Structure 1
Amino acid sequence: MRVVAVSRVLDEVDIIEAFVRHASAFVDHHIILDNGSRDGTIEIIGRLAEEGLPLTVYQSPSICFSDRDMNNWLYNEAVERHDADWVACLDSDEFYDERQLPGGLRNHLQELENSGANVVAVRIPWAHYNYTTRDDATENLVPRRITHRTEVAADGKVIVSWRLAKEKGLVLEGQHDVYLPEGSQGRVVTEQRLWIAHFSERNAAQYVTKVVRGWAKILTAGEACMNRGFSAHYRGPFELLRDRPETLLRSESFLERKNEDRSVVHDPMDYRGGPLRYTPKNDPEMQSVRALVGFLSDVCSRYGELTDALPVARAYSERIERRIDRLI
């Protein structure tokens, strides 16, 4: 049985090395699609590949929302080019934790493979680990610095079988679930004993970067994506940062205590990746500036390319820029 991980990454310099090393304890190969990182992420991935970790790395400088197409391209790469029996869909802030699963992940997947039950995907719940004032700021390894989690969530990510393609199914946006056509005999099951430790909020600066870039991608993708509700959880904080940034950036509660309440549990995950060799010292604010300015540079360059390539786009842009509206 062959397990291949697929991941899209973007500006994850603080966690990418730990993520790749940990994932290698569970999978036979890892396909990574970088979406235009500018903070040193791709350089770390390159050094991990030189070290001998089983990686295939692509790059697509995506500045807008194109989630489903890219997720299914990755799935097909894993199945068709790397002979995957199971495709582990993971973002770079997601770490398998099999402490509660007897026999571990690979044994469980092998049992499903042998069962003849036509399972096309396994849903794995998230355990959200986010920054608190109890974190050890001197610890550079994220899964050891952030050790408090909330209750295990109902939602999460999927591990997808090669049988999904046979059933003419698709991996959906966010890799949270799969689509099966009407009449399909494929089954999707949920495995509550396996968790994904999800380090989505590692510090306030990283969270701001994620929000700004996440909603900016929806804005660049146009009204259709916005109306379908993609990444809608970014809209509120994005608009706060745009209109009233002091609400967040001068809030002690947001900067230091956003994730602290009585439901938080101290439960360090089982990190399996070993020591770090290439990750720079954690410097959230400078990493955030580098990522956001890099993204702004890419958006502006793409805008310039469009106006150069399409006379109609230049004419439309110039028409907008000549518009004068009376406000008062």
Structure 2
Amino acid sequence: MKELSLFDNEENLTYTLEVSDDEFDKIINENDLALATTLLEKHKEKTNLLAAFKIVLSKNSPNNTTCPNKELDQAEDQASSSHVVEDLNDEVFHNNNNDVASTETLKESRPWTFESTKYLIQLCEKYDEDFQRGVKRFVWNKVSRELEEKFNQKYSPQQCDTKFKGLKNMYKQVKKHNEQSGKSFKAWEYFKLMHKLLYSKPEINAIATCSSKSGLIINRTPQTPTSDEIDERLDTEEPIPSGSKTTPTYKSSFMRKRKNIENAVERRHKEKLERQDRYLAILDRLATAVENSTSNDPNKQTYLNHVWKKTKN
């Protein structure tokens, strides 16, 4: 773990976070602003929630005479409804050995297994049209109820919403990584399910993007591999032995790109010749029609012959 200092422009405060080596490398070396923002918001939520829990835990203390009931109720609501309970450490409860119920509440708030996460994605696909048409809050209520019925576990609508947002962000990161040439293929256990659900969404494969630096870019064909291609790459991908100093070559990839460029140039040249042929055919028919209409006028005939010769040259 490494310490990372992040500055919050809105609050004008600097926060110190503990991040993994991989997260530290992505933020510092790859300038991953999205990851930095996500970690900062998560840290702020955790900090606020810890404070709320401490207030709640002190509610029954006989020495509690300074905290108003209104503030306690607000803290209790925040602690019970927050969707980041599953990310809390046990540090709050270690300070109160008598609060066994609070510890069990924390354990019950860790509902996301592989099967429950997989079922969440399937439910999001099932209610995809409802998400597009209706109020999302009501749809998440239905999703949470079905999860509770299947796994006999408490799932709040906010938990489901937050979990799916995390899955969507991870899908985007894996997809972006695998689209970059020169990087090894990254596998993710939920990628196929998320790819099936999100691949056609405009937010994933936008028809066009526009920025002040690159201007307008039209995305005519999506570049993300299909599910079958993903399976094929997963089956054929050979891991590089640890400690190997061999740098992989991408000659075949370069040759494919070069061949595609050559084919595109050849295709444009062929289309240009076809346009020229059509243009000349139209001129030929036009000249014939005019000649027929002015065959009795020698002066017009001489002028048209002169124009026709200049056009062909």
TM-score with structure 2 setting the length? 0.25
Q: Which has the higher helix share?
A: 2
Larger radius of gyration: 2
